[in-house]
Amino acid sequence: MNKYKDRQIEIDELKKEIDSYRPLDKILLKELQEYYRIGFVWTSNALEGNSLTESETKVVIEDGITIGGKTIREHNEALGHSEAYSLLEQLSANKEITEDDICSLHRLFYYRIDESNAGKYRNQQVFISGTDYLPPKYQEIPSLMQNFVKQIPKWKSEFHPIIYAAKLHREIASIHPFIDGNGRAARLVMNLALLQAGYPITIIPPILRSDYITSIRAANKGDNERFYNFISNMEYESAKDFARLLRHSKD
């Protein structure tokens, strides 16, 4: 039984409350951006096995201090993801999402790890451990991504912003265009779509990793609703937290 349900109505009610506080004070806006930068970078990396804690991620990004016992790759993932988050904020001012945007987001968080493959589509077949899903052959990636990007404006006009954003995530995860970092790229693009539509970014807590992976696998087998409902719930929790912070700022 799926324990997640569609929360679009509740999310839109929270968005109305959030919008009532706009425009945000510049100092408050900067504080919120940094709050979500750390939360997003930490959770997105943790979902992929990075062992840095939230406080350690903050120290690495804001203070440039290395953490004893943690790998160089884990530090580079935090720094790169923080740079990608900065680009995410810049791109949120645009009205569209391009193929170059997707590749640029991947390049920024991945170039410290593997510069030769950062922002470039994979040139070999990959297999995803723990699942029987087979990603498309690498020869198909360029045309699949071009077709995907062509569909984005249509989906944006047809679907609720939450479903639209989740659909972008689902498609990138399915195509698996990069040699590594596809999950992080999918979450970055999903949140770019949400920010462009005026919604808070979605944070997926590492404790829910199993539910997240299960919903992605269900989508790979055609059960998109399960994945969309999971993302809807994650956005609902993020919107609640954002509204809470805004209320506190006015107290």
* pLDDT of residue 46 exceeding 80: yes
**Weakest-pLDDT range from 41-50, 60-69, 124-133, 208-217:** 124-133
DSSP string, 184-211: HHHHHHHHHHHHHTTPPPP---GGGHHH
Residue 251 lies inside a defined structural domain of this protein = no
The amino acid occupying position 192 is: L
Q: What is the pLDDT of residues 204-241, one digit of tens each?
A: 999 999 999 999 999 988 899 999 999 999 999 999 99
d(CA 72, CA 17): 42
Q: b/e per residue, 71-89, with b = 16+ CB within 10 A?
A: eeebbbbbbbbbbbbebbe
The amino acid occupying position 38 is: I
d(CA 93, CA 203): 20
* Residue from 75, 106, 169, 176 carrying the catalytic annotation: 176
Question: Structurally, how many domains does the chain consist of?
Answer: 1
Q: What is the pLDDT of residues 1-17, one digit of tens each?
A: 578 999 999 999 999 99
Q: In 118-251, which residue ranges form alpha helices assigned H by DSSP?
A: 141-158, 161-175, 182-196, 209-220, 224-250
Report the CATH number that the domain containing residue 145 is assigned in CATH.
Answer: 1.10.3290.10
Residue 1 lies inside a defined structural domain of this protein = no
> In which domain, by residue range, is 33 found?
8-246
d(CA 37, CA 43): 10
106 belongs to the catalytic site: no
Taking residues 148-166, what's their average pLDDT? Answer: 97
Residue 3 lies inside a defined structural domain of this protein = no
How does residue 133 score in pLDDT terms, banded at 50, 70 and 90? confident
State the pLDDT at residue 1: 55
CB 165 within 8 A of CB 193: yes
Residue 127 lies inside a defined structural domain of this protein = yes
Taking residues 42-61, what's their average pLDDT? Answer: 97
